[in-house]
Amino acid sequence: NTKLNGQVAFINGGSRGIGAATARRLASEGAKVAIGYAASAIAAEALVEEIKAAGGEAIALKADAADAAALTKAIDSVAERFGRLDILVNSAGVLALGPVDQFSLEDFDRTVAINVRSVFVASQAAAKHMKDGGRIINIGSTNAQRMPFEGGAAYAMSKSALTGLVKGMARDLGARKITVNNVAPGPVDTDMNPADSDFATALHGLMALKRHGKAEEVAAMVAYLAGPEAAFVTGADLLIDGGFAA
Ligand code: NDP
């Protein structure tokens, strides 16, 4: 598969989970990938080596998504190093759960900083480098549409915010043929939401397909949006949730 040959992608939060699967997938389609991470340096470097061993090109960059200056600097450095930037994937995210009457302001602010503000910051930085036809793809959540358990108010809010953000950004960047979309997964088996947790069975009870999704399944939808066939898709939330919101 050579659909993304010659293109350069930055994955904000690419060291683990859905972001890591996306880095692998985009690299397998020919893109050069830059993996942004905050805490998981070892995982990020291991992923770089894995992609290189498979014949791809990859680098890892430490960039805390909550730090706007660091994130912007990382994106600028990717564009400088590879001479271009075509695809931005925002996968960095945190899940802080708790009832609204006990939820700390610190957790609220961290949720907003990483799940929302970093998407805005990274998009702004990346759009400066993108040529016509660039791609901005965020990992939203089915929880933007359905929040059927307690304790998820701040998380659901953060993912709903992305729904509005991509609609507005799609308008702003449409003249440049840059598309902006959310991929909105349901439960996906990662460190954030392991398929073998006690909570998993309850989640499956809410779904048409009673299983966790795989990070690779989400990465395939990201790859579709990144590719040339998706040039007419923008401002959208693409659900991939096993019928969680159905
Ligand atoms: P994981 O917990 O497996 O991975 C989270 C990733 O985000 C890691 O690579 C982590 O990097 C990165 N990250 C977290 N905080 C920061 C930060 N401050 N700066 C930079 N990177 C950061 O989660 P998932 O892969 O499951 O989640 C990815 C996205 O998908 C999130 O936005 C999440 O909300 C969303 N999502 C997940 C679902 C699920 O069921 N798993 C369902 C719906 C949406 P590091 O370790 O280096 O800090």
| CATH code of the domain containing 114 | 3.40.50.720
| Residues pairing with 188 in the sheet | 213
Instruction: Let me know if residue 80 belongs to a domain.
Output: yes
Helices then strands, counting H and E runs in the chain, come out as 8, 7
In this predicted structure, the answer to whether residue 60 has a pLDDT above a threshold of 90 is: yes
197: containing domain: 8-240
pLDDT at 197: 93
Instruction: Let me know if residue 246 belongs to a domain.
Output: no
pLDDT tens per residue across span 70-98: 999 999 999 999 999 999 999 999 999 99
Residue range 11-33: mean pLDDT, rounded: 98
Answer whether 43's CB lies under 8 Å from 37's CB. Answer: yes
Single-letter code of the amino acid located at 156: A
Instruction: Let me know if residue 104 belongs to a domain.
Output: yes
Instruction: Let me know if residue 84 belongs to a domain.
Output: yes
Name the domain count of the chain: 1
Residue range 7-25: mean pLDDT, rounded: 98
Please report the atom of ligand 1 found closest to the CA of residue 215. Answer: 25
Residue range 54-58: mean pLDDT, rounded: 98
Please report the atom of ligand 1 found closest to the CA of residue 213. Answer: 40
Residue range 134-153: mean pLDDT, rounded: 98
Instruction: Let me know if residue 2 belongs to a domain.
Output: no
Residue range 38-64: mean pLDDT, rounded: 98
pLDDT tens per residue across span 144-162: 999 999 999 999 999 999 9
Query: How many Å lie between the centroid of ligand 1 and the Cα of residue 175?
Result: 31
pLDDT tens per residue across span 180-190: 999 999 999 99
Task: Give the contacts of 231 (CB within 8 A, at least 6 positions apart).
Answer: 133, 177, 179
Query: How far is CA 67 from its chain centroid?
Result: 17
Instruction: Let me know if residue 3 belongs to a domain.
Output: no
Instruction: Let me know if residue 176 belongs to a domain.
Output: yes
**The token pair that represents 51 in the structure block:** 């992609």
Query: How many Å lie between the centroid of ligand 1 and the Cα of residue 205?
Result: 24
pLDDT at 1: 81
**The token pair that represents 138 in the structure block:** 């965020």
Percent of the chain with pLDDT strictly greater than 90: 99
- What rounded mean pLDDT belongs to the chain? 98
Task: Give the contacts of 115 (CB within 8 A, at least 6 positions apart).
Answer: 92, 93, 94, 155, 158, 159, 161, 162
Distance CA(33)–CA(14), nearest Å, equals 10
pLDDT at 232: 98
pLDDT at 175: 98
3-state secondary structure of 58: strand
Instruction: Let me know if residue 245 belongs to a domain.
Output: no
What ipTM describes this predicted complex? 0.99
155 carries an active-site annotation: yes
pLDDT at 90: 99
**Binding-site residues, ligand 1, Cβ < 6 A:** 13, 15-19, 36-40, 64-66, 91-95, 114, 139, 141, 185, 187-188, 190-193
